[in-house]
Chain A
């Protein structure tokens, strides 16, 4: 274990951390504050403490647009995307840890696919989704986000860290390849699962372009589209808009915090001497 740093050093370290945290958290605080006060960001003198806070903006957001519907859509689509990522990426990641003819070619293909931005493939993606009759459906909304190459590599790395003998032992114990993934590899790869959940949730939750493209029906739209629509409704955008932003942000922050806890637990339990 490293020696405990001296007191002035510790103070300095904490001061730095507090300063950085302050810079990071200030915008969030400002959004929250504006959401409950309607105070314009240019208000003078600027105040840290909100004056006469109220929740009217949240009520407006909830009733002016079909906010609950957007929320439901976003939750369903993100849930499908998260489930798809965890299941498909784990399977793909495991396959890549095994030796098979053409493995290097597959790896090269995956890596080169990462170089192509989504915007470049969005038209073929749209055409395929349309052909499959998935326009305006939850599955269609989640479709291009069901698997992410970078997250496949996260699983691959995690599975490779599991000792080879554990997999051999599982095979002798009578487990099929599927059960080896489910009962041995995944329970030992919680950080990788958490990473997959966090990343795929955030990407899906914040996605704007794809839902915009494939939803015709306003009732199928997700929160980011709702936010855009809301912008066009509101004259005085400050308070209500900020309230909307808070409502959009809250679930992803929640998911992150929940998964992060598991993430840290997984990391530390792996770090104890085995």
Chain B
């Protein structure tokens, strides 16, 4: 599937600005970004539920700009599940097949098969209102799977579930992917969902693609300041600094050594420094780039502890092992490897 310069304009205001995206066969692509970034609109344009103001969408070899939603061979899972309340689970799953000239026996066979995959066989005669949120979610997926479409579209399918169930269903979707290998586009605002499910992530912001890459790429080499701030369970520390002689200086004189010769071309330049809290580790003697400061806030999470501390007049957050810092006011000694320092141009907000 491919999108070329896809645009959407509402009332003379462009909300999706020329998105380009190639999706390989059987690839699972996650569109992620804060609410209002245009990701759902983009998904609805792929489904054919919104008109395209400019550009081209092709599924397989076929341009589908003018093709009706029903003829695009896509199936969608909606945020609110969109199950027909007046039909049983069986009828809900079978509904679309009835309009596609599939025989009764074939429908029964396919519904049974999908029910087995999703483990919802005992629910087939129930109405949607008799199901729990997680069960409804499965039925909604069953309705999409039964059609055997070219592309699956997921519109924030887990956002109506409580936190625990969301994690469980996330794993289930991942398992399901191994059994049903089909191209899928998945929209979410949750970066954890994006990281765990995606073959490739498309990060969107203000109707524009900020970065496209594997979860590892996006995490290791965020292309822009926005991506740097969005990806990662605890937000990246972003501080202003300057490159000077193979190191970067910030605050009232703190100094971090950079990987040799990598940023030589930018010497003397003002930069935004990005440090992931999990890359600030407790310093041992001889570690490069030690930073010494005073803890301000200590948040024990059990498996590790988030510590907000002051260093050289800047506030940083570090994710440290439990019990190395217990109370605010204690001394903090962390270090960061030169390769883990991210530098961005403050003007263009792009990675150096």
Which residues of A approach B to under 8 Å, CB–CB? 163, 165-166, 168-175, 179, 184, 187-188, 272-274
Residues of B within 8 A of A168 (CB): 44, 47, 49, 69, 76, 78, 82
Query: Do A172 and B79 form a contact, CB below 8 Å, given A179-B99, A188-B86, A274-B85?
Result: no
**Contact of B70 with A by CB under 8 A:** yes
Chain A residue nearest in CB terms to B100: A174
Of the A-B pairs whose beta carbons lie under 8 Å apart in the complex, a sample of 30, sorted by A's number, is A163-B82, A165-B78, A165-B79, A166-B84, A168-B44, A168-B47, A168-B49, A168-B69, A168-B76, A168-B82, A169-B78, A169-B84, A169-B143, A170-B84, A171-B70, A172-B49, A172-B74, A172-B75, A172-B76, A172-B96, A173-B70, A173-B143, A174-B70, A174-B100, A175-B99, A188-B84, A188-B86, A273-B129, A274-B85, A274-B129
B80 within 8 A of A: yes
Q: Which residue of A lies closest to B80 (CB)?
A: A165
Q: Is the CB of A165 within 8 A of B82?
A: yes
Report the minimal beta-carbon distance from B292 to chain A, rounded to whole angstroms. Answer: 54
Task: With CB as the reference atom, state the residue of chain A lying closest to B136.
Answer: A274
Cross-chain contact of A169 among B48, B82, B86, B100 (Cβ < 8 A): B82
A-chain residues with CB within 8 Å of residue B44 when the two chains form the complex: 168
Asked if B226 is at the interface (CB within 8 A of a chain A CB), the reply is no
Report how far A175 CA is from B70 CA in the complex, Å. 8
**Docked CA distance A187–B87 (Å):** 9
Residues of chain B lying within 8 A (CB to CB) of residue A172: 47-49, 69-70, 74-76, 96
Whether A184 lies near B84 (C-beta < 8 A) is yes
User: How many residues on the B side are at the interface (Cβ–Cβ under 8 A)?
Assistant: 23
B95 at interface by CB-CB < 8 Å: yes
The number of A-B residue pairs with CB atoms under 8 Å apart is 55
Q: Which residues of A contact B79 (CB under 8 A)?
A: 165
- Do the beta carbons of B78 and A174 come within 8 Å of each other? no
Determine if A166 and B82 form an interchain contact, defined as CB atoms under 8 angstroms apart. yes
Of all chain B residues, the one with the shortest Cβ separation from A186 is: B86
Q: Per a CB cutoff under 8 Å, which of B47, B80, B86 touches A163?
A: B80
Inter-chain contacts of A169 with B (CB < 8 A): 76, 78, 82, 84, 143
A86 and B76 alpha carbons, distance in the complex (Å): 32
Known contacts A168-B49, A168-B78: does B99 contact A174 (CB below 8 Å)? yes
What residues on B are CB-neighbors of A163 within 8 Å?
A: 80, 82
A188–B48 alpha-carbon span in the complex (Å): 25
Nearest opposing residue in chain A for B72, CB measure: A172
Q: A169-B76, A174-B70 are in contact. Are A187 and B86 (CB under 8 A)?
A: yes
Return the CB mask of B213-242 against A: 1 if under 8 Å, else 0. 000000000000000000000000000000
A169 to B93, CA, bound (A): 12
Least CB separation from B99: chain A residue: A174
**B78: chain A residues within 8 A (beta carbon):** 165, 168-169
Most buried by A among B48, B80, B82, B129: B82
